[in-house]
Structure 1
Amino acid sequence: MKVATTLAAALSLAPTATALNILMNNDDGFGSGNLRELYKLLKAAGHDVLIVAPATQQSGQGGRSDFSTYANLTSPAQYDIVPAGAPAVGTDPNDSSIWYYNGTPAACTFVALDYVLPRYYPGWTPDLALAGPNYGTNLGPFVYSLSGTLGATYAAVSRSIPAIALSASNSAVAYFNVTNATHPAALAAKASYAVVEQFINATTEGSAVLPLGYGINVNIPELSDDTLPPVVKSRLTGEAETDVAVYDEDKKTFTWGNVRPLAAGVNACYNGDCSLPGETYVVANGGISVSVFTIDYDAPSVPYTEMVFAKVESLFSAGSGRNDTEGYQTKPAQKKRMMTGRDVYRM
């Protein structure tokens, strides 16, 4: 049952007691209607907001940090906002606080932190990073690694910035085609704002919005009016989807589908409160899901983890008569260059 709270009442766009520096990003492109509508709401509330987002649509890139090898755009930016030949990183001609970069969402996070801010906004440090609202929901652990919206978010969290991923259930629209307050993009932005502003208002001035290494994944159901749906504490796992490869006999190509029955692997619960509903279930039943994640991907300290380590215990102890992790816990870090996946890719 929906609560009798309108989005308009939840917004209260008077300047907030705590004005933050907010860095925005997304994977749908810097001309996204959803992105621009939330940007306007945050600015109206008194926050200092900058957008650094992809020059073109970059959905499905996950946390891939792909930087352009060209100094200039080889084709026009999204919706022809910026012409081909313009610098690969620059500002919207109508708003100098909105930047584009010709790279993936995660790359935009890093370009913002390591180029745009130090060069053009010295001393401006983000208090909060927001990605989205995305066109379409990003539900469950599988899309955590697939979604560009989430990729931009955990890139920020990895750099010690509190970050929130926001995803809605509306379709893509150019920002200049959002012409009224009841447009789906406007409603998605208002619902996103209601959640974001609650996090901000509940934070003591001078404190971080989230603990170090923490991020938030918010998903919003389809909105038909300005009624705020129930906001539900949730988790990533729980009736979550993962892919199956679907082969087209005629085209001889593959596409994706949702595996049935639901896969147990993507829904295994080891961390956090396993009694919480999964975000997939919450959104399917008309609620706004709010899930908490951390950057720490380590397996939990449970018997299963001990059993896994035990399988190679003889290797850990080989040659030294003790578990070599003991020595590594006390030795300073070795300054040796290790080959990374990125190095292998470039070979």
Structure 2
Amino acid sequence: MRFSVNTALTVALGLVASTDALKILMGNDDGFGSGNLRELYKLLLDAGHEVLVVAPARGQSGKGSTVIWAETANLTTPSQYDIIPAGAPAVGRDPNNDNIWYYDGTPAACTFVALDFVLPRYYPDWNQTPDLFVSGPNYGTNLGAFVMGLSGTVGATFAAVSRSIPGIATSASNKAVPYFNVTSASDPAVLAAKVSFEVVNEFIQNTPEGQEILPLGYGVNVNIPELVNNTMPPVVKTRITGNANTDVAVYNETTGLFTWDNIDPLAAGINAAYNGDISLPGETWVVAGGGVSVSLFTLDFTAPSNKYTELVFDKVENLTSGSPSMNTTVYSKRMVEERMRKRGAMLTGRDGGA
């Protein structure tokens, strides 16, 4: 049975085992050989959880929530760090760990492959329904509203949350490292994993028995500053807007190619605050000051109920007022159910009624 604990997060890191084993699905956008990913995987295992990884066969940063499937049934080139040879199946197990899987697709595609292929075929007792999805820790932070649509780490989490699975995306400030090169307890990958574990574990430990870790449609975005020792930085409740960046296209006259940079000064559009508690500090500002940011998001992108929204809807009032001349179709619940019946049931678990 889970019980409530109030971990002192500002003291030296101490890993607290959870009181109830969960089924945790993990992913990322840095690839299944990521040192950050593997270190957090080990900590969650050590805490007594059943953990499964399904992550990209190679780095897929910047893909956001895009779902791109493998175009061939077999890898045309070796996977990340040459762990899997060319010619191997596009989806499969790590040769040294049966519970770590790769797929040659985007992070969001990996989430769906995990839920609809790996789990029902190889882990039927999961019933396609992990208790929690954890992504990362990413190499580099994912801060602000713009990267919420750009980050594959967040995109993999979006995919899980869209399937009614509580999701936590974690991102750190360290550089990329293969998991087999992480050999020291002071390695930045180890430190990033420990901080990520502390935040994830706090959510788990403070969830009463019988309650989901997050409400339906909710996700968490965690960002970790540079870590210089084994001390937990302060953890701060944040909002996604506030000192956040967006991109500009930078053209290279020599190569004829574009790359990105952050716009300066900060764009007002990306920092317009409408939703949630606008008194919270922005995650970008908090991480820059050495704190760990914890922001909540939902998949409900509907504009807030305010005067701006009313004025925008007023612009299409003539179209939305239900004019008899409009050829509108009323979609009843029965019609939707009939269409789903004809398609055939695909899902089991939380969204499939099984």
TM-score when scaled to structure 1?
0.91
> 3-state SS of the aligned residue for 2:237?
strand
- Structure 1 residues 334 and 205, CA, compared in 2 at 3 Å: closer, same or farther? closer
Identity percentage over the alignment?
Answer: 65
Counterpart in the other structure of 2:79 = 77
Whether 2:286 is the aligned partner of 1:282: answer: yes
- Structure 1 residues 329 and 274, CA, compared in 2 at 3 Å: closer, same or farther? farther
**Partners in 1 of 2:256 and 2:196 — Cα distance?**
41
> 3-state SS of the aligned residue for 2:124?
coil
> 3-state SS of the aligned residue for 1:218?
strand
- Structure 1 residues 213 and 182, CA, compared in 2 at 3 Å: closer, same or farther? same
Whether 2:32 is the aligned partner of 1:30: answer: yes
Counterpart in the other structure of 1:345 = none
Q: Is the Cα contact below 8 Å between 2:9 and 2:235 reproduced in 1?
A: no
Counterpart in the other structure of 1:141 = 145
Counterpart in the other structure of 2:194 = 190
Whether 2:102 is the aligned partner of 1:100: answer: yes
Range with greater deviation from structure 2 (240-249 or 166-175): 240-249
> 5 Å matches for 1:149-228?
149-228=153-232
The counterpart of 1:259, out of the listed 258, 263, 267, is 263
- 1:5-27 Cα shifts (integer Å, max 9, x gaps): 112x2x13xx4211100000000
- 1:78-121 Cα shifts (integer Å, max 9, x gaps): 11111111111000010000000000000000000000000000
Counterpart in the other structure of 1:43 = 45
**Partners in 1 of 2:27 and 2:203 — Cα distance?**
18
The counterpart of 1:5, out of the listed 11, 22, 26, is 11
Q: Number of matched residues?
A: 331
Counterpart residue identity of residue 95, structure 1? N
- Structure 1 residues 234 and 315, CA, compared in 2 at 3 Å: closer, same or farther? same
Range with greater deviation from structure 2 (244-253 or 108-117): 244-253
**Partners in 1 of 2:27 and 2:255 — Cα distance?**
36
TM-score when scaled to structure 2?
0.89
**Partners in 1 of 2:181 and 2:333 — Cα distance?**
59
Provide structure 1 residue ranges, at least 5 long, that are not aligned to the other structure. Answer: 338-347
- 1:297-341 Cα shifts (integer Å, max 9, x gaps): 11111111111111111122364289x79x66889549789xxxx
Counterpart residue identity of residue 175, structure 1? Y
**Partners in 2 of 1:262 and 1:16 — Cα distance?**
41
- Structure 1 residues 196 and 334, CA, compared in 2 at 3 Å: closer, same or farther? closer
Displacement over 4 Å in runs of 4+: 327-337
Counterpart residue identity of residue 71, structure 2? T
- Structure 1 residues 334 and 146, CA, compared in 2 at 3 Å: closer, same or farther? same
**Partners in 2 of 1:78 and 1:171 — Cα distance?**
16
Q: CA RMSD in A?
A: 2.1
